[in-house]
Amino acid sequence: MRLTLAHAVLLCRHLDGTATFYRETLGLPVAWELPGWLELDAGGTRVSLRRRDRPYDGEAPAGAGVQLAFRVEPEEVDAWHERLLRAGAEMLQAPATTDYGHRTLFFKDPEGNVVEIYAEV
């Protein structure tokens, strides 16, 4: 049997602010919305945001809970860096070219998750 990832669900203490970040700063369009739940179209999959309010959710982690990686064209990495700086995103690593062939940058979303924007170079 083969699994196909349909969406990644991010548990949010502050759903409204996190939703604004993913919609407005990253420009992900809303695919579906319910109270306490938002699905955003991220190309081949969806990023879902859900209010952290179920008994089995536990406490929010002190650090990042997940890392998301978004692929862009090589010339877009530095433009994303500038856009994120203007939006006040907490940068973790400025754009850099790796020895494994990526141009990449890292930042935090409002929930403290690590987000990467990279290009294959």
For residue 62, the model assigns a pLDDT of 87
Confidence class for position 73, pLDDT limits 50, 70, 90 = very high
For residue 82, the model assigns a pLDDT of 98
The 10s digit of each residue's pLDDT in 26-64 is 999 999 999 999 999 999 899 999 999 999 999 988 888
Give the mean pLDDT of the chain: 96
For residue 34, the model assigns a pLDDT of 96
**Bridge partners, residue 68, by sequence:** 115
For residue 63, the model assigns a pLDDT of 84
Domain 1-53: what homologous superfamily?
2,3-Dihydroxybiphenyl 1,2-Dioxygenase, domain 1 (3.10.180.10)
**95/112 Cα distance (integer angstroms):** 19
For residue 64, the model assigns a pLDDT of 86
User: What is the amino acid identity at position 75?
Assistant: E
* Residue 11 predicted with pLDDT over 90: yes
Domain range 64-121, its CATH number among 3.10.180.10, 3.30.559.10, 1.10.760.10, 3.40.50.300: 3.10.180.10
Average pLDDT of 54-81? 94
The 10s digit of each residue's pLDDT in 90-101 is 999 999 999 999
Sequence-separated (6 or more) residues with CB below 8 Å from residue 35: none
> Within 13 A of 95's CA, how many CA atoms are on the CB side?
19
Q: In the chain, where are the structural domains located?
A: 1-53, 64-121
